[in-house]
Amino acid sequence: MSEDKKIIFSMVGVSKTTPQGKQIIKNIYLSFFYGAKIGIIGLNGSGKSTVMKIIAGLDKAYQGDVVFSPGYTVGYLPQEPELDLNKTVKEIVMEGAKETVDVLKEYEEINAAFMDEEVLNDPDKMDKLIARQGEVQDKIDSLDAWELDNKLERAMDALRCPPDDQLISTLSGGEKRRVALCRLLLQNPDILLLDEPTNHLDAESIDWLEQHLQQYNGTVIAVTHDRYFL
């Protein structure tokens, strides 16, 4: 995505009231450009998480207008992430790298196809396969896909994730949050929405997260009570 200062999201006069008549947020105006780093602060129950869910597109029950420029990907870390309890830690984390895994798999399939007799005996099919190999190689380079294993190991270690073969069903709430955060960072969306990202992280993990986000080109919106993190 371009790193110019074009506004990519606007929230205009947005309010939300529960069916019981309780007003959660009132007349919110918010705009941001790609690459902005934003902190949302406020008292407990003041609607911070509601604003995040609206930005993430998960909450449609509001009044007002929300405009999101097309073509931008969004990743959201809720306070209580829902993970598949039957999967292992590594399986969940690898969900964040699905695009990279898929492109590496296609590259392997293309290389195997070069040995196919039908391809070897058909110059047209061979040319198409070579062209596709070049496209996939460009995608691999743009994703830095060959570094996937190293990225995975660094992130899991820095965030103190449980052993990669441990079942999600055996994890504490804090461990699940660290796994979900690791998955989200590997996903590398254009916009990161982080609801209390430093909860359940030790000082070293928070320091690593701060450095990671400083180097991150996209937009970061964080709800946090951690003034040092802000």
Co-location of 163 and 107 in the same domain: yes
Co-location of 91 and 42 in the same domain: no
Residue 201 CA to chain centroid, in angstroms?
18
Q: Per-residue confidence of the chain (230 residues) as pLDDT tens digits?
A: 444 578 999 999 999 998 888 999 999 999 999 999 999 998 888 899 999 999 999 999 999 999 999 999 999 999 999 999 999 999 999 999 999 999 999 999 999 999 999 989 999 999 999 999 999 999 999 888 999 999 999 999 999 999 999 999 999 999 999 999 999 999 999 999 999 999 999 999 999 999 999 999 999 999 998 888 88
Co-location of 86 and 133 in the same domain: yes
Co-location of 181 and 145 in the same domain: yes
Structure tokens that stand for 159 in this block: 């965030």
Co-location of 167 and 94 in the same domain: yes
Co-location of 230 and 160 in the same domain: no
Co-location of 68 and 121 in the same domain: no
How many domains, the chain? 2
Co-location of 175 and 86 in the same domain: yes
Co-location of 155 and 184 in the same domain: yes
Query: Residue 123 maps to which CATH number?
Result: 3.40.50.300
Containing structural domain, residue 166 = 81-188
Co-location of 34 and 128 in the same domain: no
Q: What is the pLDDT of residue 6?
A: 83
Co-location of 63 and 111 in the same domain: no
